[in-house]
Structure 1
C-alpha cells in the first residue's frame, strides 16, 4: 500500500469516527444525508454530499462540495454553484458542485504527517456547515 492510500484510509477512519455513515470510493467520500444542510433550509431531503481528496493531497487544499444538481436553498439556486460538475463523484445521481475550499473562514490548511494533528478531510467536511448556514 502506498503512502497516499494509507493516508486516505486514515482520513476515512477519522471521518467515520464523527460521521459514521460516510463511505469511500478511491479518492471520493459520500455522506448520504447531511442533515446539517436540511436544518439550514437546503433541499433535496435526503441531502447527499460528496467530496474528494485532491491529486496532491494532503498538500493540496481540498475544494468543492458536491451536491445534487437540483439543489435549492429556500427554493432558490445557491450562489457559487455549478449544476454540472466537471469532476463528477462516482456515486449514483446527478451532481453539481458548490465552490468551497478547505481553508475557508480563515482556517489555514496545514496538514501534518499524523492525520489527527493537522488539517484533514474531517476538518473540511465539518466546514460544510458554515456554507450551509450562508444560505443561497
Structure 2
C-alpha cells in the first residue's frame, strides 16, 4: 500500500484529446502574436494563421471529450471561433462557470491538484 506504482499514480498517456488541445493552444498563441503584430503595423490578419486556428478549433470541438473539463474547453473554442460572446455577451463564461460548479471548482483557471502530484514521476506497468 505504500508503493508509488499504484494505478492512481500513473499519469495518463497522451491521448487524442491531449493532442487536439495542444494543437489548439499552439494556434491560439500564434494568433495572439499575429494579431499583436498586425495591430501594431496597421495591417490585416494573414489568412494562414487564421485558417490554422479555425481548423485546430474545429478538430478540438469534434474530438470526443471524456471529462467535464473537455466540455468547458470546447465552449471556449466555440466562443473563439464563432464569437458567441459578440452576440450573447458573457454566455461562454456563464456556461463555463456552470460546468466548473458541477465539479466543485470556483475558478475555471485553477489547478485541481498540486504540481507535486501532477508532475510526479510515473512508472509504467510491467
Larger relative contact order, structure 1 or 2 (CA cutoff 8 Å, min sep 6): 2
Shared fold per TM-score greater than 0.5: no
Superposition TM-score, scaled by structure 1 size: 0.23
Compare CA radii of gyration and give the structure with the larger one.
2
Higher strand share: 1
Superposition TM-score, scaled by structure 2 size: 0.25
